[in-house]
Amino acid sequence: MDPKLLDILVCPLCKSPLLYRKSQNELICKADRLAFPIRDGIPIMLEDEARKLPVEEEIS
């Protein structure tokens, strides 16, 4: 993931910054507990495509 792109991307719902989780190729929104997938190097920033993070899953 390009660091410059990561600096400008925000959550489409709450506009908070995102964390890049390289191991799962996802962008994480801590505030909404959503994981947005990255497919073929393109972040899919749609709420319908995001995975809801369970409460027991740690976000770091």
What pLDDT score was predicted for residue 47? 95
Tokens for 15, please give them: 């506009």
Per-residue pLDDT of the chain (60 residues; tens, 9 = 90+): 788 988 999 999 999 999 999 999 999 999 999 999 999 999 999 999 999 999 998 887
Residue 10 covered by a domain: yes
Residue 34 belongs to domain spanning = 3-52
Is-contact 37 44, C-beta < 8 A?
Answer: yes
| CATH number of the domain enclosing 35 | 2.20.25.10
Give the count of domains, the chain. 1
Cα torsion 45, 51, 56, 60: sign: negative
